[in-house]
């Protein structure tokens, strides 16, 4: 019989430390055992300066579920032209703490303080097929990221992110 897996404050503290030390300023703890599992389950710790490039999951049957466990995070939604269409704040213990994103939906995440959330999505996971990145958003690691991330954090509905402005 398999051992019961516990996800306690020690796991989350360790995950936050890993995120603080990561060049990407986020870290994940996979609950699923293999990338080819049909359900992918993971906890993610994210720091406020972590950049999640706007993207969509390119397979028409793959949704994505988020549930915030500590802190809060904003999920930003965009149309095909890079215009912000919706902004949802998820807060642990708040009025809204989770959501499910439909397939093929442009989105990104931002936070103003460290956050821990759970993500569940359909597998298997293949890095080459999982995400389509927005060409109107800078690539991770590029010099435009800091300014772009600041714009994402303060953007109002209707803000256009296309074309990239330096």
pLDDT at 165 over 60: no
Q: What is the pLDDT, as a whole number, of residue 51?
A: 97
Q: What is the pLDDT, as a whole number, of residue 127?
A: 66
Does residue 164 form part of some domain? no
Burial of 89 (0-12, 13-18, 19+ CB in 10 A): middle
**How many structural domains is the chain composed of?**
1
What is the pTM (predicted TM-score) of this model? 0.92
Does residue 32 form part of some domain? yes
Residue with more model confidence, 164 or 122: 122
Quick one: average pLDDT of 101-107?
Answer: 96
**Integer Cα distance of 88 and 97 in angstroms:** 10
Peptide bond into 124 cis (omega under 30): yes
Mean pLDDT in the chain? Answer: 92
Quick one: average pLDDT of 47-76?
Answer: 95
pLDDT band at 8 (very low <50, low <70, confident <90, very high): very high
Does residue 166 form part of some domain? no
Does residue 20 form part of some domain? yes
CATH number, domain with residue 50: 2.60.120.10
Q: For the stretch 104-130, what's the b/e string if a residue is b when 16 or more beta carbons lie within 10 angstroms of its beta carbon? A: ebbbbbbbeebbbbbbbbbbebeeeeb
Does residue 77 form part of some domain? yes
Does residue 4 form part of some domain? no
- Domain enclosing residue 75, as ranges: 9-154
Residue with more model confidence, 1 or 103: 103
Among 33-37, 79-83, 134-138, the least confident range = 33-37
Among 81-85, 133-137, 147-151, 159-163, the least confident range = 159-163
**Integer Cα distance of 118 and 135 in angstroms:** 27
pLDDT at 3 over 60: yes
Does residue 159 form part of some domain? no
């Amino acid at each position: 019989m398999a051992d019961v897996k516990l996800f306690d404050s020690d796991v989350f503290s360790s995950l936050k430390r890993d995120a603080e030390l990561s060049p990407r300023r986020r870290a994940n703890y996979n609950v699923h055992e293999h990338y080819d599992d049909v359900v992918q389950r993971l906890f993610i710790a994210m720091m406020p300066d972590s950049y999640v490039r706007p993207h969509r999951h390119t397979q028409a049957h793959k949704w994505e579920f988020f549930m915030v466990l500590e802190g809060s995070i904003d999920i930003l939604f965009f149309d095909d032209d890079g215009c912000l269409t919706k902004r949802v704040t998820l807060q642990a213990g708040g009025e809204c703490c989770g959501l499910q994103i439909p397939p093929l939906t442009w989105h990104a995440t931002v936070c103003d303080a460290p956050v821990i959330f759970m993500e569940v999505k359909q597998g298997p996971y293949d890095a080459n097929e999982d995400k389509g990145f927005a060409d109107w958003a800078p690539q991770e690691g590029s010099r435009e990221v800091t300014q772009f991330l600041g714009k994402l954090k303060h953007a109002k509905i209707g803000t256009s992110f296309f074309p990239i402005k330096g």
